[in-house]
Amino acid sequence: MAHSTGSNQAIKPGSTLLKSFVGVAAIKKGYEGVDRDKASHDESTTVQSMRIARTVYEASKDSLYFSHQQKRDQAITEKCNALVERKRLLEESDTTSQLVHADKVVARLKENRDLSQSIVHIDCDAFYASVEQHDRPDLKDVPFAVGDTVVAACNYIARKTGCRAGMVIAVAKKMCPNLTIVKPNHDRYREVMAQICKAMEKYDPGYEICGTDEAYLNITKYCTEFGTKPWDVVESLRKDIRHETGIAVAAGIAANIQLAKISSTFIKPDGQYQLPSEPDIIMAFIKDLPVRKVTGIGYTLDRQLASIGIATCDDIFSQRQFLRDLFGDRLFEFLLEVYLGCGRTELQATLEQQKKSASIERTFKETSAPDIIERNLRTVCEDVEAKLKELNRAGQTLTVKVKMNDFESYSKQMKLPKAISSARDIFQHSLPFVKATVASKPHQACRLLGVRLTQLVSKEYTLSAAFQRMADRSTHSESDSLLGVKEKELPSPAGKRKLGDNLESCELSPRKKKLNLATESSEINPLESFRCPSEMIRCPICDQDQPPDNVLFNQHLDICLSLSEIQKYS
């Protein structure tokens, strides 16, 4: 294949753009599956990663996505340049006080670190692919990838051809023409994860789930209780998991979650690695580790650190006098912790984790037609409503996100006077920003809409929830959408259906319309819509009937609500 001068220049080995092409997975995980079989990073590895980068580059160079990435990369480069310049100035000044301070912090961290715990990190390598391969033996010997438009996971045969998680499937197929694509089956993966949880419970009921395919356990207690060694415990845990689910997991054992996680990557996809909890051994283990492998150090920070001469964890120490000035207090301390191999030892039990936000964002075929955009927004809002309902929460801060087809995104966050949860409320608060943003970019189209609610409050005792329950009771309604027909059910092609600003133009069935109106008016005067003349009103908190008088009923509600609040905290 003849290389054009253009692409040769654009994609020099080591160029930052090349790095971002090969993808997060390849950099972070060290080209697993490709050079794992080789003893060292020899020339063929470089050739292989160059081939991947070149293929991705050729497929992407004309896309809007590419120009956006280029722009982003340029911004990071400028950040790095500024950093280098600031470091140069620092080098000219007297940095002894910063050096002393850094050493004090190091001493403090050393003093306080806890090496008494046995933390285990369980990692299901290429989880989706493992599950699919287990369920479908026909996939065993063919290259395949799980994913929709982007590869979520692929097996080792596919990886050898350069297929990677995060790659666009069209590109992956270019690299591996006989790649089989499997649609993800999330319910099934959740099921398998639940089985894994069941197996872990025996060893530590306080285990922590992290993402869809990772977990931490603290087996210290189990070990002392049964007089067993961590290594043996993890062996039987992995055996249990394999027996229950049929899939293999990797495990890392160390003094804290940071080290355990790094340890588990040492023996992927199947095996276990224990890092002894002795300071000298930990320091030796960390010493030459590229900082990029550490959780919390991503593409951007890695490049910033590299620009000032920090590639490995040991380099952090030699540059410690500059870090506070360059990165601020928080990052400074984090980096020193990395250097020392410090990390969290307390797990957050999965059951006790409370969500802080609920969000939906969706990418669709780009469009600038206001009615389609509006309809997409409606769908997104409905899905957020459903999610909030599941959590039994309402949110007081709303964030709306719009991404245009140049991949630039804009967001607006608003603190609302009160927590909301209905699709209608969310939609009404989101729409103005979406409309304004789209209108301000007349030559672009919208490709994504997102809605997030934060500052979640329990709906348990909020008025709107209470009245929603009343509404449900009085209409015997199922959980039908408040906003009418879902897009996929629309009989007419997109665009034909004209939806105005006014929600009344939604075609709603009589019953839905009623519920719709009821919900709407509940915002303004909740009582009005449910008041049945000369009938008692049932208080949704205490479930007692009350006289049909708004003022009296409001007073009663106030008392009832404060009572239940008091009960909650006493």
Partner DNA sequence: GCGGATCAC
Partner DNA sequence: TATGGTGATCCGC
Considering only the stretches 107-115, 132-140, 350-358, 480-488, report the one whose residues sit in contact with DNA under the rule CB under 7 A.
350-358
Q: Whose CA is closest to 161, among 151, 184, 8?
A: 151
Q: How far is the CB of 570 from DNA (least distance, A)?
A: 27
Phi, then psi, of 388 in degrees rounded to 5: -65, -40
Count Cβ atoms below 10 Å from residue 145 Cβ, excluding itself: 28
The only residue of 15, 16, 17, 66 in contact with DNA, by rule CB under 7 A: 66
Using CB under 7 A as the binding rule, whether residue 313 contacts DNA is answered as: no
**What is the rounded distance in angstroms from the CA atom of residue 33 to the CA atom of residue 15?**
23
Considering only the stretches 240-248, 251-259, 354-362, 476-484, report the one whose residues sit in contact with DNA under the rule CB under 7 A.
354-362
Q: How far is the CB of 451 from DNA (least distance, A)?
A: 9
Q: Which burial class, exposed, middle or buried, applies to 169 when counting CB atoms under 10 A from its CB (0-12, 13-18, 19+)?
A: middle
Catalytic residue chosen out of the listed positions 58, 92, 214, 487: 214
Using CB under 7 A as the binding rule, whether residue 63 contacts DNA is answered as: yes
Count Cβ atoms below 10 Å from residue 7 Cβ, excluding itself: 12
Residues 6+ apart with CB under 8 A from 292: 27, 28, 298, 299, 302
Using CB under 7 A as the binding rule, whether residue 328 contacts DNA is answered as: yes
Are the C-beta atoms of 325 and 240 separated by less than 8 Å? no
Nearer CB in complex with DNA: 395/526 = 395
What Å distances lie between residue 125 and 91, 121, 152, 200, 253, CA to CA? 44, 12, 12, 17, 16
What Å distances lie between residue 225 and 201, 230, 314, 346, 399, CA to CA? 15, 12, 37, 19, 48
The only residue of 4, 44, 363, 505 in contact with DNA, by rule CB under 7 A: 363
Q: How far is the CB of 58 from DNA (least distance, A)?
A: 8
Using CB under 7 A as the binding rule, whether residue 560 contacts DNA is answered as: no
Are the C-beta atoms of 26 and 164 separated by less than 8 Å? yes
Taking CB under 7 A as the rule, which mask of x and - marks residues 227-266 in contact with DNA? Answer: ----------------------------------x-----
**What is the rounded distance in angstroms from the CA atom of residue 428 to the CA atom of residue 417?**
14
Exposure string (b/e) for 253-278, b if CB count within 10 Å is 16 or more?
A: bbbbbbbbbbbbbeebbeebbbbebe
Taking CB under 7 A as the rule, which mask of x and - marks residues 141-180 in contact with DNA? Answer: -------xxx-x-------------x-x-xx---------
The only residue of 228, 307, 350, 397 in contact with DNA, by rule CB under 7 A: 397
Is 214 marked active-site?
yes
Q: Which residue has the tokens 């969310």?
A: 426
Number of residues near DNA (by CB under 7 A): 62
Nearer CB in complex with DNA: 132/508 = 132
Nearer CB in complex with DNA: 51/355 = 355
Using CB under 7 A as the binding rule, whether residue 301 contacts DNA is answered as: yes
Q: Which burial class, exposed, middle or buried, applies to 189 when counting CB atoms under 10 A from its CB (0-12, 13-18, 19+)?
A: buried
Using CB under 7 A as the binding rule, whether residue 331 contacts DNA is answered as: yes
Nearer CB in complex with DNA: 261/512 = 261
The only residue of 205, 276, 296, 309 in contact with DNA, by rule CB under 7 A: 296
Taking CB under 7 A as the rule, which mask of x and - marks residues 406-445 in contact with DNA? Answer: ----xxxxxx------------------------------
**What is the rounded distance in angstroms from the CA atom of residue 183 to the CA atom of residue 151?**
10
The only residue of 45, 212, 350, 546 in contact with DNA, by rule CB under 7 A: 212
Using CB under 7 A as the binding rule, whether residue 65 contacts DNA is answered as: yes
Using CB under 7 A as the binding rule, whether residue 300 contacts DNA is answered as: yes
The only residue of 52, 56, 175, 508 in contact with DNA, by rule CB under 7 A: 56
Q: Whose CA is closest to 157, among 174, 148, 144?
A: 144
The only residue of 217, 358, 515, 518 in contact with DNA, by rule CB under 7 A: 358
Q: How far is the CB of 105 from DNA (least distance, A)?
A: 15
- Bridge partner list, 357: 454
Considering only the stretches 53-61, 87-95, 268-276, 482-490, report the one whose residues sit in contact with DNA under the rule CB under 7 A.
53-61
Preceding peptide of 269 cis, ω within 30°: yes
- The DSSP bridge pattern shows strands 208-210 and 180-182 to be unpaired
Q: How far is the CB of 14 from DNA (least distance, A)?
A: 19
**What is the rounded distance in angstroms from the CA atom of residue 322 to the CA atom of residue 305?**
11
Using CB under 7 A as the binding rule, whether residue 309 contacts DNA is answered as: no
Q: How far is the CB of 521 from DNA (least distance, A)?
A: 26
Considering only the stretches 101-109, 360-368, 518-526, 542-550, report the one whose residues sit in contact with DNA under the rule CB under 7 A.
360-368
What Å distances lie between residue 69 and 73, 74, 298, CA to CA? 6, 8, 16
Secondary structure in 3-state letters for 160-195: HCCCCCCCEHHHHHHHCCCCEEECCCHHHHHHHHHH
Are the C-beta atoms of 402 and 374 separated by less than 8 Å? no
Q: How far is the CB of 222 from DNA (least distance, A)?
A: 24
Phi, then psi, of 182 in degrees rounded to 5: -115, 130
Q: How far is the CB of 214 from DNA (least distance, A)?
A: 5
Give strand ranges (E) for 432-481: 446-458
261-280: which residues touch DNA (CB under 7 A)?
261
Using CB under 7 A as the binding rule, whether residue 67 contacts DNA is answered as: no
Nearer CB in complex with DNA: 302/530 = 302
Number of residues that make up the chain: 570
Active site residues: 214
Binding site for DNA (CB under 7 A): 24, 28, 56, 59-60, 62-63, 65-66, 72, 75-76, 79, 148-150, 152, 166, 168, 170-171, 210-214, 261, 294-302, 328-331, 355-363, 387, 397, 410-415, 447-448, 450, 452, 455
